[in-house]
Amino acid sequence: MAVTELAPNTGSNLEARLRQIGAERYHDKHPFHALMRDGKLTKAQVQAWALNRYYYQSRIPIKDSVMMSRLVDADLRRIWSQRVIDHDGTREGEGGLRKWLHLCQGLGLDRDYVVSEAGVLPATKFAVDAYVTFVRDKPLIEAIASSLTELFSPGIIRERVTSMLAQYDFVDEDMLIYFKGRMTQAPRDADFALDYVVRHATTPELEDSVCQALVFKTNVLWSQLDALYFAYVEPRLPPPDAFVPQA
Amino acid sequence: MAVTELAPNTGSNLEARLRQIGAERYHDKHPFHALMRDGKLTKAQVQAWALNRYYYQSRIPIKDSVMMSRLVDADLRRIWSQRVIDHDGTREGEGGLRKWLHLCQGLGLDRDYVVSEAGVLPATKFAVDAYVTFVRDKPLIEAIASSLTELFSPGIIRERVTSMLAQYDFVDEDMLIYFKGRMTQAPRDADFALDYVVRHATTPELEDSVCQALVFKTNVLWSQLDALYFAYVEPRLPPPDAFVPQA
């Protein structure tokens, strides 16, 4: 369908539905995030979170490369390529991935161990890989819609950064440099994706599929925190080979 | 490589390595299975297990259809097709899937609800879908090797059936009819797959990849029980939309 088609009545309803999904299902509502926000995590648990989150971050530019491979329109592809650049940087030593490793090292994790992915929970890999597969296989509007958790990330970032700096003496501002860039990147990306889905969801079925795509993505994020909680909080049963924090 | 190539010294070592992986990582070692075996699950927890396991079972014939699509040799493909027939039956009302639904209904679950997959844990879907993707994308020897958990299934089935019949008054022999067929199907399938990988793993690297494929599959099974334990045993935090057993 042409990029300029509008669905006037649908537009505002769809955005409201998407924001409601975020309000109910975004992982700022997860018990693990509540512990983090309330200063109740141990350093070991924060390490486990950062280690696993590295796997997610590492697959974002892969997911976005898959997306680029699905965009025949060079203008759309150019716009989407900024997401890959945000994570990989424009030269060695730059980019979001590098900043996430900086956080991991600041927490006392060995850089090579993190990059090896050896200690990552299988459940993390399954959830993250499902996201990449979704973007590869689903209709384009759903693939784009699955990125819309970025609508809600500035809120959780603000909460996370504030509470971590206030309550964890092993975390300083320099370690959290990753999140600074996200405060401008995420809204820019989310605005683009939201505009795209609102303009292209011209039937109730398409609107439903867009909402289901966002629900899917919230499940990807939620299940990762479930797995972390199970392995490192309660009942504290990490699977074989998973990262075991030093006492 | 020709089907008749042998790797004499390697053969016995590889099988021993694979059996050791099973001894350490197969899900008969999982805490959830221990609870089931020891008669410590509630009916609600057994319902949740059966409901989620239905998703896994439903994707086995899909996984095996993917495998068939990768076998250019008609003889191999015909042999592998038996696995699909085992689950789908040769006519309506037959087959492993039907028998699993019979177990679900015997446990008091609504058949349509089970088939809708609406209550399945996202983590279950991510793990199971990862298995289907593995079989689609990995080198053929690894895809075949990932089925080798069937080497260990007769043992867990015997343990599960015996203990369930002895300790759960809501389970009877008719409900467990699914497992009867598996006691002959699994060894037949496992023998074929084991023979294939032993004959084709003609280098240390191939042997390692076969072992990694089996480890991957044990992670697929283990993480499903992790997710069940987290949602329905301890800390009992099912994600949004997941099956909530009636009191």
| Selected residue of B223, B225, B232 to mutate for chain A interface (largest A Cβ count, 10 A) | B223
Among the partner-chain residues B24, B125, B130, the one whose CB lies closest to the CB of A129 is B130
Helical residues (DSSP H) of chain A, grouped into ranges: 8-25, 31-37, 43-70, 74-88, 96-106, 111-116, 122-137, 140-145, 153-167, 177-200, 204-232
Residue A20 · residue A14 · CB < 8 Å: no
Total residue length of chain B: 247
Residues of A in contact with B234 (CB under 8 A): 234-235
Q: How confident is the model at residue A246 (pLDDT cuts 50, 70, 90)?
A: confident
Q: How confident is the model at residue B2 (pLDDT cuts 50, 70, 90)?
A: very low
Which pTM was predicted?
0.94
Residue by residue, DSSP assigns B166-216 as: HH-TT--TTTTHHHHHHHHHHHHHHHHHHHHHHHH--SHHHHHHHHHHHHH
B35 pLDDT higher than 60? yes
Residue A160 · residue A36 · CB < 8 Å: yes
What is the residue-averaged pLDDT of chain B? 94
pLDDT value of position A247: 57
Domain B11-231 sits in CATH at 1.20.910.10
Distance CA A228, CA A216 (A): 19
pLDDT value of position A8: 46
Q: What is the dihedral of CA B179, B120, B37, B235, to 10 degrees?
A: 180
Q: How confident is the model at residue B3 (pLDDT cuts 50, 70, 90)?
A: very low
pLDDT digits (tens, 9 = 90+) for B168-186: 999 999 999 999 999 989 9
Distance CA A162, CA B58 (A): 45
A6 pLDDT higher than 50? no
Distance CA A243, CA A238 (A): 8
Residue B192 · residue B64 · CB < 8 Å: no
Distance CA B104, CA B111 (A): 7
A5 pLDDT higher than 90? no
pLDDT digits (tens, 9 = 90+) for B112-158: 999 999 999 999 999 999 999 999 999 999 999 999 999 999 999 99
A3 pLDDT higher than 60? no
pLDDT digits (tens, 9 = 90+) for B211-234: 999 999 999 999 999 999 999 999
A4 pLDDT higher than 90? no
| Selected residue of A125, A221, A223 to mutate for chain B interface (largest B Cβ count, 10 A) | A223
Size of interface A-B (CB pairs under 8 A): 84
Helix axis angle, B43-70 to B74-88, nearest 10°: 160
- Burial of residue B34 (CB within 10 Å: 0-12, 13-18, 19+) is exposed
Give the pair of three-digit tokens for residue B7. 């790797």
pLDDT value of position B7: 43
Distance CA A4, CA B203 (A): 57
Inform me whether the C-beta atom of residue A126 falls under 8 Å from chain B C-beta atoms.
yes
- Burial of residue A23 (CB within 10 Å: 0-12, 13-18, 19+) is exposed
| Closest residue in B to A233 (Cα–Cα) | B235
Distance CA B188, CA B51 (A): 27
pLDDT value of position B12: 63
Provide ipTM, 2 decimals: 0.93
Amino acid letter, B88: D
Where do the structural domains in chain A lie, given as residue ranges? 11-231
pLDDT value of position B247: 57
What is the residue-averaged pLDDT of chain A? 94
pLDDT value of position B80: 96
pLDDT digits (tens, 9 = 90+) for A191-222: 999 999 999 999 999 999 999 999 999 999 99
CA distances from A30 to A21, A205, B47 (A): 14, 29, 25
